[in-house]
Amino acid sequence: MTPLLCALLLAAPPAAAAPARPGSPPAPARRGAPARPPSLAGALLAALAAARFDELRDAGPVEGRCPGDPACPFPLPQVAAVPQLDLAVILLDAQGRAVEAASVQLDPASPGGRVLSLDRNLAVRGVRFRRWSADRRDGLAVPFAEADDVAPSRRSGPDFMAPYPASLFKLLVAFHVERRAALGLLELDRPVGDLPGLPPPGEPMVAPEIRPLREWVERMITESDNRATRAVLRHLHARGEVEVLNRDFAALGLDTLRIDGTSPFDGGRWAPGEIQATAMDVARLLWLVAGGPGTLWRSPIGAPVTRAVLPEPARARLQMLLADQAFHEALSAGSRCGDGPAGIPAQVPLRFVDQQTGLEAAGDRAWRSDVRPCNTAAQVRFLHKTGLTWSYASDAGIVEALPGRPPRRYVVAVLTAAGTRFVDPEDADAAHHPCDARAACVTRKLAELGAAIDAYAVARSAPALAARPGSPGPAR
């Protein structure tokens, strides 16, 4: 039994009456009372509708082929159906308590979006999360089986294929490593060697490296370095820690967060349908990273989940790493400053910015925009992790106002099947993919979504609205 499971069992209280369920609508306003702002759930649905994900153009399943290949359709066709999208937001007060929470989804069965039910622990209910299948996404009528359930505890409601989180899954790995290290069960200074895979044809072999575990974790998060991630996962596999990671997330009630199928040999093989994450469970994990007083939610055995689950040294280091993450091109778009909406108006970390040109580069990615104007206009710190492949895009983190800027604090997570393959309508007849032409690898629609979420958080955090009656909150 892991220390986390043991602690939750010991802390389990007797059954108590359930408080008001989060996500419930507030009581009607009294006659003569000032009008309340729209609910968070309503604002998220409106933001999805305004973004018009159904307008995206499809460059096809073969990565990098279109546009450009003579056989490519011109212009690129509109998507056959809206891509799957899973979005969750938790608004926090200054102390880190949840004041409002909502989760919404978009998929071909609900092209206008749907609001999800949340229980008193802010867990999604009434949706059956299913493993990702590219065949089903492309319209093949492949029936679901019981083995396709992402979370066996959630087997009611409409089916929703959970998009592959791409590199967002590295957040799960970092959380586990930092927490276990703070408990004395892993050593951040331990030398860890990697085992590079075979290089592409024509490229030289790469020699193995040995670095302290903490350096691999830093590169994994701040630069989204895949080699570093393989090294960390290989180290975890050798110690049986991947199984512990999955058990510990399930014990916290975050049972849609799982890492299965990765290779113990080299830490590779990250497959859609095997690595799992859903938006609200990622958001609750980030709420733990943000910290807050009292009981945040209760585990499946009824034990309180508090900030003590994540020791303070681990919390401080995770916050530092997420704040230093280079990629601002999804919900926040400072890395591509001036190319479309700014999204969540966050600072790009200066460590990746050339002070002479304002251009940003991290790992094997380089952007082509001067980020300094967006950094000057920035209003928040975004402690986050992104994920991006040809087919999938995700972004999740903690938003905190910078000093002197309009107050807001919230957690946001979005996972989508709208990766680099899907381009904006204005790029439908371009000769080259925008990722090649101007390093714009993610649809602008995610930044539009980020801007709308941030605007709601600012309005909701205004002093006159800070104590709005009827606001849902988790069990205390």
- The CATH number given to 37-197+208-461 is 3.40.710.10
Number of CB atoms found within 10 A of residue 242's CB: 20
User: What pLDDT was estimated at residue 2?
Assistant: 60
pLDDT one-digit tens code per residue, 2-58: 655 554 444 443 333 333 344 444 444 444 444 455 799 999 999 999 999 999 999
Phi-psi region of 356 (alpha: psi -120 to 50; beta: other; left: phi over 0): alpha
**Residue whose pair of structure tokens reads 């040999």 in the numeric block:** 265
Alpha helices in 294-394 (DSSP H): 312-323, 372-377
pLDDT one-digit tens code per residue, 430-462: 999 999 999 999 999 999 999 999 999 999 987
pTM of the model: 0.90
Domain boundaries, the chain: 37-197+208-461
User: What pLDDT was estimated at residue 203?
Assistant: 75
User: What pLDDT was estimated at residue 237?
Assistant: 98
Report the 3 state secondary structure along 203-239: CCCCCCCEEEHHHHHHHHHHCCCHHHHHHHHHHHHHC
Residue length of the chain: 476
User: What pLDDT was estimated at residue 381?
Assistant: 98
Using 70 as the pLDDT threshold, list the residues of the chain that sit under it: 1-37, 200, 463-476
User: What pLDDT was estimated at residue 34?
Assistant: 43
Encoded tokens for 297: 């939610």
d(CA 376, CA 406): 15
